[in-house]
Amino acid sequence: MQCKHCEKLQENSDLIFETECWKIFLAHQQAYLGRCKVTLKRHCGCLSELTQKEWIDFSEVAKKLEFSLKKSFGAIMFNWTCLMNNAYLVSNTDPHMHWHFRPRYDKKVEFCDIVFDDPDFAHHYDRTRKKEILQEVRDNIIEKIKENM
């Protein structure tokens, strides 16, 4: 079975930027405006197997993303998670290292005539909140994040 993260790395849809070791994609769900997935460019299953170079490169990604999201949309702080649960739904799993990045907001943000809110600010993210937006709006979010890096 082909790894869906390796597939995404070839496709490059919704790519915001890439570094030597990581690619940063705008996530499908945008309940948290600017939510991203940060995917390692090689197929590697867990955090313990990251090289020093990949960690340092990741630290630069984190800095860039946090800086841009504050500047672009006024994000206040950020939730970073490395979970990898889905990979374990199947036996003989072969997971692919990635981070989830959720910017958090203390007020509503209007962008492209859409209001994004974060009613649970200062609390755990709510996985049931969904927000799907048109590709045109997604492209504008990507452009804005790139502009402010």
- Interface ranges with a copy of itself (CB under 8 A): 46-48, 50, 52, 55-56, 58-59, 62-63, 66-67, 76-89, 95, 104, 106, 121-124, 127
Nearer to a copy of itself, 77 or 137 (CB): 77
Nearer to a copy of itself, 58 or 116 (CB): 58
Nearer to a copy of itself, 10 or 91 (CB): 91
Q: Is 45 helix (H, G, I), strand (E, B) or coil?
A: coil
Rounded-to-integer distance, Cα 78 and Cα 102, Å: 6
Rounded-to-integer distance, Cα 60 and Cα 82, Å: 17
Q: What are phi and psi of 30, to 5 degrees?
A: -120, 35
Q: Shortest gap between Cβ of 113 and a copy of itself (angstroms)?
A: 28
Q: Shortest gap between Cβ of 135 and a copy of itself (angstroms)?
A: 27
Q: Shortest gap between Cβ of 134 and a copy of itself (angstroms)?
A: 28
Nearer to a copy of itself, 7 or 106 (CB): 106
Rounded-to-integer distance, Cα 11 and Cα 92, Å: 25
> Would you give the DSSP letter of residue 42?
S
Specify whether the CB–CB gap between 8 and 25 falls below 8 A: yes
